[in-house]
Structure 1
Amino acid sequence: MARVVDLWHNRDRTRTSRYGTGQRWQAVWFEDGKPRKKSCPTKAAAEEHLVWVTHQQKTGAYVSADRGRVFVRDLLDAWMDAQVHLRASTAAAMRSDVRATILPYWGDRVLADITKDDVQRWVAGMGKAARTVDTIHGRLNNFLSWCVDQQRITVNPARGVNLPRGAKREHQFLTVAQVRALAEAIDGRYADLVWLLATTGMRMGEACELRWKDVDLRRRRLTVARAVVFVQGRPVVGPPKSGKPRTIPLTTMAASVLAERRGTAGGDELVFTTSRGMQVRANNFKRRHFDDAVARVNGVPDGARVPAGLWVHDLRHTAASWAVQSGASVKSVQRMLGHATAAMTLDVYAGLFDQDLDDVAVRLDALLAA
């Protein structure tokens, strides 16, 4: 039975050996038939704690302190194994982040002892880009939320932590002349890849996993059904970022280029490979070929210069801008890029649709004049 004990006095009001030492009052309750104790400075505080314990036990929300007395490293594998809803590439990236950042720092910490201040200090001292910090903190936050659900702890100490803010990078939109210059400056085996990215809006991971069975040259269509990422040097193939396959139209030029490129390649063969016939890795492609092409283009006097620090992903932004300039609707651009909703497309590329606002004004002027 729960009770409050006076540690300084016996029942006959004589002083105990602990009189004047430590906190006077102690809350005592039972958990799975075993007594639990908590010292408090006042009798009211001890009684309040017992009321809280009783309520938590009755509602099923009570968490035994012993369940949190476990090392973080002993729970991480169970948490990661439970993330069955993640795409294969996302799960692989998660495991990589856990091994590299969370396990070394938090592995030997007792779960119940982690405080919000501990997490805040970890975030502040990480010394990584704001976006990376946000991602890694998100991993720990998800793990600790899982621990709450497993009734290991009562609150998530990673929730509400202040995260660094990074300057949002502006999208870069290239002209046809700039893309042509890049395609001419890059290693010849990747010129077609530059044009494909700039005219279809494919993500690099999708293009690296594109196979000839996904290309329908007769209908001038290609299907984006998979994407690849490399984690710890190993390829992990999964569905596209949206989780669903999509069909993209090919320009006449892109279709003819791919027709010339195919030759006798079989349906399961990759459309783009390295000089050794291996699958292209996005990071290696950027470092070894794309960045060099940018430098060559900008090194030509009076040439079609491109923004310094250009990303391969900017070719996807370029494809979106060209589609809008050609008169494509928001819905068409959404389907081409594989966004979940048209609202997402507008959020990302709102500035590209400014012309639509001018068109509204022109139509209203015509209506009013009539």
Structure 2
Amino acid sequence: MMSKRASKKAMTMRRFGAVRQYRSGRWTASYIDPTGERRRAPDTFETKTEAEVWLSQIEADITRKDWRDPDAGAVNFEEYATKWVAERGVAPLTEELYVRLLRLHLLPSLGEWDLDEITPPRVREWRMERLDSTGAATTVAKSYRLLKAILETAVDDELIRRNPCRIRGAGKEVSKSGQVATVEQVDALAEAVGIRWRLMVYLGAYGPLRPEEQAELRRKDVDVDNVTIVVRKAAPELATGRRAEGPTKSEAGKRMVVLPEFLRTDLQRHMDWYAEKGPEGLLFVGEKGAAFRRSTFGRKWKRARLAVGMPTDFRFYDLRHTGHTLSTRSGATLKDTMVRAGQSTEKAALIYQHSDHERQKEVAGGLDRMVQAAREKAREQQEKVAGGAEVVQDA
């Protein structure tokens, strides 16, 4: 006669693991993991064969040393992602971006799930919901890249077996190309923004320097005799208004910029009139002596843009695109423009191209000739128009 215990379930021992049948007729399976702990299947099986197949898969994973603790992924995504950002050690602006993307786009939908509960279908659903509700494809692409990077680290930490972010092209941004201003428009913007800030416009276009790099320029970084500027650090302004003084965007950002000769006068005048005294004195300070503030300058920039008649979506950063384009037109190679703008790349073909100081002087010289020619042409046209007006009056 079968015992009461045996009547509930029958156990079958195997070479690896064990299977048991419940009184309901369904089967379960268990095994001893590499740490010596007994593990049970998370679900029951309809047949004994299904239970044994599951055990065979587990045995194969252990043999290949591909076994993973089934409880490892039981880590809350919000906790893991928050810690991930804190441990990155990225630049302040980048950290601010990560925190904002988490708060607005990732945590509301995925924050409550454990890492191993974020599956490919769930990622697809999240992405479509974000695209539909925001219409901001670029922001969603940034958010997707952040999610993928976080979960890739979880794979490295052996918390999940495989990254569930597998949507081809989902992290690629398709943004509108930067706008290009003419030489006349750059001059008009520099004039309209005011004499204290006109050099900042010129450095943005013909440097081409990022605004956060200009915000941290010191008197010691400027060599008027050689018309050069050394970029050592950057001081981006966070959403809180705090100046985050620190390294440049990348190692390539640390560079010497050879400026076009026509900027010598503007450079000398700014040093004499507006830069703080002493080697560590800031190059750009406000009327009351405060360091450059993006918010304050932004209002001046908008007024200048309106006065010149530039499109409302022409950003200060578009001056950099203008500088890239004009440098290329003046004969600069791709590597020349990369060095000049402080950009880096991982493409091996570019690593072996060379752009030394002398070549940078040639690029600056070509830029100088192009701008001077454009200005001369504009003056000739103005004189021609003025001359025609005089003839009409005399008649």
Q: Same fold (TM over 0.5)?
A: yes
- How far has the Cα of 1:104 moved from its partner? 4.4
Q: In the superposition, relative to structure 1, how do residues 130 and 102 fare at CA in structure 2: closer, same or farther (>3 Å)?
A: same
Among all aligned residue pairs of Structure 1 and Structure 2, give the percentage whose two residues are the same amino acid. Answer: 28
- TM-score by length of structure 2 reads 0.72
Match of 1:190 among 190, 197, 201: 197
> What is the rounded CA distance, in whole Å, between the counterparts of 1:277 and 1:125 in structure 2?
48
Three-state SS of the structure 1 residue aligned to 2:150 is helix
Q: In the superposition, relative to structure 1, how do residues 46 and 89 fare at CA in structure 2: closer, same or farther (>3 Å)?
A: same
- How far has the Cα of 1:166 moved from its partner? 6.3
* One-letter amino acid of the structure 2 residue matched with residue 294 of structure 1: R
Q: In the superposition, relative to structure 1, how do residues 178 and 71 fare at CA in structure 2: closer, same or farther (>3 Å)?
A: same
- How far has the Cα of 1:87 moved from its partner? 4.2
Which residue of 1 is the match for residue 248 of structure 2?
240
- 2:39 is the alignment partner of 1:36: yes
Q: In the superposition, relative to structure 1, how do residues 335 and 175 fare at CA in structure 2: closer, same or farther (>3 Å)?
A: same
- 2:289 is the alignment partner of 1:277: yes
* Deviant stretches of 4+, over 6 Å: 342-346
* One-letter amino acid of the structure 2 residue matched with residue 113 of structure 1: E
Which residue of 2 is the match for residue 63 of structure 1?
68
Asked whether the equivalents of residues 232 and 247 of structure 2 are also in contact (C-alpha less than 8 Å), the reply is: yes
Asked whether the equivalents of residues 144 and 171 of structure 2 are also in contact (C-alpha less than 8 Å), the reply is: no
- 2:296 is the alignment partner of 1:293: no
The answer to which of 315-324 and 68-77 deviates more is 68-77
1:3-22 to 2 correspondence within 5 Å? 3-8=17-22, 16=23, 18-19=24-25
- 2:262 is the alignment partner of 1:266: no
CA deviations on 1:254-310 (whole Å, 9 max, x unpaired) are: 232122122362222221233443333446533x12222222211xxxxxxx34411
- How far has the Cα of 1:2 moved from its partner? 3.5
> What is the rounded CA distance, in whole Å, between the counterparts of 1:274 and 1:97 in structure 2?
32
Q: Structure 1, unaligned stretches of length 5 or more? A: 9-15, 299-305, 347-370
> What is the rounded CA distance, in whole Å, between the counterparts of 2:285 and 2:325 in structure 1?
28
Q: In the superposition, relative to structure 1, how do residues 107 and 274 fare at CA in structure 2: closer, same or farther (>3 Å)?
A: farther
Match of 2:221 among 214, 220, 231: 214
Three-state SS of the structure 2 residue aligned to 1:40 is coil
Three-state SS of the structure 1 residue aligned to 2:72 is helix
Asked whether the equivalents of residues 89 and 237 of structure 1 are also in contact (C-alpha less than 8 Å), the reply is: no
CA deviations on 1:141-193 (whole Å, 9 max, x unpaired) are: 11111112112121222332773876531232221111111122224432221
Q: In the superposition, relative to structure 1, how do residues 48 and 276 fare at CA in structure 2: closer, same or farther (>3 Å)?
A: farther
The answer to which of 157-166 and 209-218 deviates more is 157-166
- 2:120 is the alignment partner of 1:93: no
Three-state SS of the structure 1 residue aligned to 2:262 is helix
> What is the rounded CA distance, in whole Å, between the counterparts of 1:97 and 1:164 in structure 2?
14
Aligned-residue Cα RMSD (Å) equals: 2.9
Q: Structure 2, unaligned stretches of length 5 or more? A: 1-14, 354-395
CA deviations on 1:180-231 (whole Å, 9 max, x unpaired) are: 1112222443222111211111122212222222111122111112223233
- TM-score by length of structure 1 reads 0.77
CA deviations on 1:82-137 (whole Å, 9 max, x unpaired) are: 424x4454345334433454344433322222222222222222315222211122
Three-state SS of the structure 1 residue aligned to 2:280 is coil
> What is the rounded CA distance, in whole Å, between the counterparts of 1:37 and 1:162 in structure 2?
39
> What is the rounded CA distance, in whole Å, between the counterparts of 2:174 and 2:250 in structure 1?
26
- 2:52 is the alignment partner of 1:47: yes
> What is the rounded CA distance, in whole Å, between the counterparts of 1:7 and 1:283 in structure 2?
71
Which residue of 1 is the match for residue 326 of structure 2?
322
